[in-house]
Amino acid sequence: MIDLVRPGAAFALLLASASPALAQNDASAPVEVVVDTAKPGSKIDRNIFGQFAEHLGTGIYGGVWVGKDSSIPNVRGIRKDVVAALRAIRVPNVRWPGGCFADEYHWRHGIGAAKDRRISINSNWGGATEPNTFGTDEFMDFVDQVGSEAYISVNIGSGTVAEAAEWLEYMTADPATTAGKERAANGHAAPYKVKYLGIGNESWSCGGAMTADHYADVMKPFARFVRNYNPAQAADSPGAMQRIAVGPGDDNLSYTESVMKAWKAHDWAWSIEGLSLHRYTTGGGWPVTQPSTGFDEGRYALMLKETLGMDETIAKNAAIMDKYDPEKKVGIAVDEWGAWLAPNPGSNPGFLQQQNSMRDAILAALNLNIFARHADRVRLTNIAQMINVLQAMILTDKEKMVLTPTYHIYKMYLPFQDATYVPVRFDAGAYTQGDIKLPRVDAVAVRDTAGKLWLAVTNLDPNRPAKIVARFPGVQARAARGEVLTAPRVDSVNSFEAPNAVVPRPFTGKAGKDGVTLELPGKSVAVVQIDL
């Protein structure tokens, strides 16, 4: 049995230890999950449930913004149905405006009277027309309606320090200043809050193809001069803005080394609080070929195997960070992750539109579990992307909207927001598909902010149910109830025609003197509250 006592020690260890003896294939044998309620771990920052909204395809235009005159119900141009759905999953932060788009975004094009806004070309994403009708004030209105924090990525690729500094001044300065007066004239006298500041995006590639050392030098003046003037966000206060530097993409560790080395040598004049990490699951690299519908079990297993590598990617980066920052002052921000699949047939390939299946829901749950185990270092993540792009929460088509299986995982995991990690031990067993061997089950436990105990269990095996026996040494479990998400097939999806094909159902466990028994269907994720 593997001891998952410490967040961050977890899944790689578990996989490495899946010896033939443990890798039993007896589907009827119960999986024992021992929950150690006496040893609480790190706090799971609710910001690991963040979203990413780039000016890309119909992620913003159509997905969020329909305009004030639209027949689609809206508040000041922002879709009501989408806001209601996002409020229901308590989105903690939204990263905007990119992505690659951010390093070509000039904020002044997106403020003031709509008729005067510059119309440009979105050269990164399909050469679409960018009307700039959704700009800073509209984004801030959107996050306010959703109840989220703003994560603003500033342009360091084709912009200047002065441009980024003036943008922050526009958003956060006192109404008596010139910048504040301009904001007030555009409808918002009070300073906005900017909780997170991204200093560039993928500067090793679309953000300017900089070497790691060069980026570290470019980043410092932004960290120094791009100031937040909102008095509610004074430096060193609990609400202070967190600056996030560009870090690694996949397993290229050079940015982690250079940026953390630079950070260790920083003086009073600048600092960062976060290091970005991007890792997509493609099922075989680039260009992407994995379809989002109509795939077989082999492709299902391939994607899950690759996604589980997130654990090792975080562990490798965390080890480098530990060298320079043993006190863990700088957090990892996995601010782009998720399944990146082949575009829907017939769609503009530059719009990155894909369907979202039961497989993607399991993929999301496995990653959220990994982030929870690394909660000592991972403080924020943004799944890519929120609406209509890549592994989306929500799909829209004009007035229609559908919630994806991934959305339902985010809803089921709500008790994990700001919860405390609780260590679990279990034999993961094995699910084998061709030459791919995966753990058969995964499990994490937390205490929510009200002190209630929750257990999330995933059965990766699509064909066989898993009987879980959860034990709580020293305490008697009285009941277990929650929800389970499963579907007829791994590639089952929700569509506009059949929006409820993959939705959570009520789920209960049987409490006995030895703990709680949960009968998980194949290909499922269950989240249950344990009454002790």
User: 336 or 376, CB closer to ligand AHR?
Assistant: 336
Instruction: Say whether 498 sits in a helix, a strand or coil.
Output: coil
Q: How far is the CB of 103 from ligand AHR (least distance, A)?
A: 9
CA angle (524, 529, 532) in 5-degree steps: 135
What's the closest the beta carbon of residue 124 comes to ligand AHR, in angstroms? Answer: 7
336 has catalytic annotation: yes
Q: Decide: is 384 part of the binding site for ligand AHR (CB under 6 A).
A: yes
- With CB under 6 A as the contact rule, the residue among 63, 98, 415, 462 that binds ligand AHR is 98
CB of 201 to ligand AHR, least distance (A): 5
Q: How far is CA 240 from CA 3, 161, 179, 243, 329, in A?
A: 36, 20, 20, 9, 14
The answer to whether 22 and 345 are in contact (CB under 8 A) is no
Angstrom CA distances, 10 to 314, 322, 443, stand at: 11, 17, 11
Closer CB to ligand AHR, 98 or 291, in the complex = 98
Residue range at the interface with ligand AHR (CB under 6 A); choices 17-25, 94-102, 104-112, 428-436: 94-102
Nearest distance from C-beta of residue 461 to ligand AHR, angstroms? 31
Using the minimum distance from each CB to ligand AHR, give the nearer residue, 150 or 457: 150
Q: Does residue 103 contact residue 200 with C-beta atoms inside 8 Å?
A: yes
Q: Does 202 bind ligand AHR (CB under 6 A)?
A: yes
State the catalytic residue, choosing from 54, 149, 257, 336. Answer: 336
What is the C-alpha to C-alpha distance for residues 356 and 377, in angstroms, rounded to an integer? 29
- Dihedral Cα 115, 118, 123, 126, nearest 10 deg: 10
Q: Which is nearer to ligand AHR, 37 or 205 (CB)?
A: 205
Contacts with 134 (C-beta within 8 Å, 6 or more apart), sequence order: 55, 60, 61, 64, 65, 77, 110
Q: Classify each residue of 445-454 as buried b or exposed e, where b means 16 or more C-beta atoms within 10 Å of its C-beta.
A: bbbbeeeebb
- Interface of this chain with ligand AHR, residues 31 to 60, rule: CB under 6 A: 54
Query: Is the Cβ of residue 63 or residue 180 nearer to ligand AHR in the bound state?
Result: 63
**Omega into 345 within 30° of 0, i.e. cis?**
no
Q: Which two tokens stand for residue 222?
A: 């932004």
User: Which of 33, 89, 100, 468 lies at the binding interface for ligand AHR (CB under 6 A)?
Assistant: 100
Q: Among residues 202 and 461, whose Cβ is nearest to ligand AHR?
A: 202
Query: Shortest Cβ distance from residue 210 to ligand AHR (Å)?
Result: 14
Smaller CB distance to ligand AHR: residue 102 or 315? Answer: 102
* Shortest Å distance, C-beta 172 to ligand AHR: 25
Cβ distance to ligand AHR smaller for residue 58 or 492: 58
Q: To the nearest whole angstrom, how small is the minimum distance from the Cβ of residue 89 to ligand AHR? A: 20
Residue 531 DSSP label: E
Structure tokens at 385: 């992307």
Q: How far apart are CA 366 and CA 148, in angstroms?
A: 24
What is the rounded distance in angstroms from the CA atom of residue 167 to the CA atom of residue 136?
9
Per rule CB under 6 A, is residue 197 in the interface with ligand AHR? no
99 counts as binding ligand AHR under rule CB under 6 A:
yes
Stretch that binds ligand AHR, among 92-100, 306-314, 457-465, 488-496 (CB under 6 A): 92-100
Let me know: does 37 contact 401? Beta carbons within 8 Å.
no
User: Measured from the CB atom, is 55 or 411 closer to ligand AHR?
Assistant: 55
**Shortest CB 440 distance to ligand AHR, Å:** 31
Q: Which stretch binds ligand AHR (CB under 6 A): 326-334, 341-349, 384-392, 446-454?
A: 384-392
Q: Provide the minimum distance between the beta carbon of 197 and ligand AHR in the complex, in angstroms, as a whole number.
A: 16
Total of residues contacting ligand AHR (CB under 6 A): 10
- Could you say whether residue 281 binds ligand AHR (CB under 6 A)? no
163 is an active site residue: no
Q: Of 83-91, 188-196, 382-390, 455-463, which segment contacts ligand AHR by CB under 6 A?
A: 382-390
Task: Name the one range near ligand AHR by CB under 6 A: 96-104, 210-218, 395-403, 464-472.
Answer: 96-104
Given 202, 257, 273, 306, the catalytic residue: 202
Is the bond preceding 62 in cis, omega lying within 30 degrees of 0? no
Q: Provide the 3-class DSSP secondary structure of residue 20.
A: coil
Question: Tokens 């080394």 identify what position?
Answer: 257
The answer to whether the beta carbons of residues 121 and 127 sit under 8 Å apart is yes
**Residue of 343, 353, 345, 364 whose CA lies nearest to 397:** 353
Cis peptide, bond prior to residue 242, ω within 30 of zero: no
Per CB under 6 A, the list member of 47, 201, 242, 356 interacting with ligand AHR is: 201
Q: Which amino acid is at 431?
A: Y
Q: Coil, strand or helix: which one is 188?
A: coil
Q: Which of 104, 306, 336, 360 binds ligand AHR (CB under 6 A)?
A: 336
- C-alpha count within 13 angstroms, C-beta hemisphere, residue 34: 13
By the rule CB under 6 A, 376 interacts with ligand AHR: no
Nearer to ligand AHR among residue 17 and residue 344 (C-beta): 344
**Distance in Å from the first CA to the final CA of the chain:** 24
CB of 398 to ligand AHR, least distance (A): 24
Q: In the Cβ-directed half-sphere of 54, how many Cα atoms lie within 13 Å?
A: 29
Could you give the CA distance from residue 63 to residue 59 in angstroms, rounded to a whole number?
5
- Catalytic residues, by residue number, are 202, 336
Q: Which residues bind ligand AHR (CB under 6 A)?
A: 54, 98-100, 201-202, 336, 384-385, 390
